[in-house]
């Protein structure tokens, strides 16, 4: 498995922004807000923006389920003219399990984002999701 911290050194797109929030459900709305703001600037249509918001929400919640109490979720947004890539990392002691999506959550993610993955590496859990803009005129 790829080292979760290596994710921060790996692929990025033309532009980047970072956000650190408490690993608490009350702050997930900030992660959604940043993602939708970026997508809006890229002229994603309203359905694509809402899909991205849903994807961010589902992945953040999956990470929160295994986050250490009082920890911080680090999010890195990167984008170019066609897509948004979001990577997130949180401290997650092994006894709290791995982030996972099951049942309807997996179906929702498959429907609203182009790619996603969740995993863990030692004491860290992470997710990565990608949403591409529909070609104009498609």
Does residue 5 form part of some domain? no
- Residue 2 pLDDT exceeds 70: no
Tokens 């080292």 belong to residue:
3
State how far the Cα of 59 lies from the Cα of 23, in Å rounded to an integer.
12
- Mean pLDDT within 20-45: 96
Q: Where are the beta strands (DSSP E) in 39-93?
A: 72-79, 83-91
8 in a structural domain: no
pLDDT given at position 7: 57
| Count of domains observed in the chain | 1
Does the residue 58 lie in any domain?
A: yes
| Mean pLDDT of all residues in 72-92 | 95
Domain with 36, as residue range(s), is 17-132
Residue 97 falls within a domain, yes or no?
A: yes
What is the pLDDT, as a whole number, of residue 136? 65
pLDDT top residue among 99 and 137: 99
Q: Does a structural domain hold residue 39?
A: yes
For residue 12, being part of any structural domain is answered with: no
Average pLDDT (1-27) is: 76
Q: How confident is the model at residue 5 (pLDDT cuts 50, 70, 90)?
A: low
Band of the pLDDT at 40, cuts 50, 70, 90? very high
What CATH number does the domain containing 100 carry? 3.30.565.10
**CA within 13 Å, CB half, 99:** 30
Q: Compute the distance between CA of residue 135 and CA of residue 103 in angstroms, rounded to an integer.
A: 30
| pLDDT, tens digit, 9 for 90 and up, residues 55-75 | 999 999 999 999 999 999 999
* Mean pLDDT on 105-119: 94
Residue 118 lies in a domain: yes
Backbone angles phi, psi at 37, to 5 degrees: -65, -45
Q: Which two tokens stand for residue 71?
A: 């920890």
Question: Would 2 be classed as within a structural domain?
Answer: no
Band the pLDDT of 100: cuts 50, 70, 90: confident
Task: Check residue 96 and give its pLDDT.
Answer: 82
């Amino acid at each position: 498995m790829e080292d979760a911290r290596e994710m921060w050194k790996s692929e990025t797109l033309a532009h980047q922004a970072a956000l650190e929030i408490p690993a608490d459900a009350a702050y997930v709305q900030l992660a959604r807000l940043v993602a939708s703001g970026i997508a809006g600037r890229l002229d994603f249509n309203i359905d694509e923006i809402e899909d991205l918001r849903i994807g961010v929400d589902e992945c953040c919640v999956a990470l929160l389920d295994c986050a250490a109490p009082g920890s911080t979720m680090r999010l890195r947004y990167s984008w170019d003219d066609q897509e948004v890539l979001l990577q997130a990392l949180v401290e997650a002691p092994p006894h709290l399990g791995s982030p996972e999506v099951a049942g309807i959550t997996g179906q929702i993610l498959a429907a609203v984002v182009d790619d996603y993955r969740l995993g863990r590496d030692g004491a860290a859990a992470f997710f990565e999701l990608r949403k591409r803009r529909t070609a104009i005129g498609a």
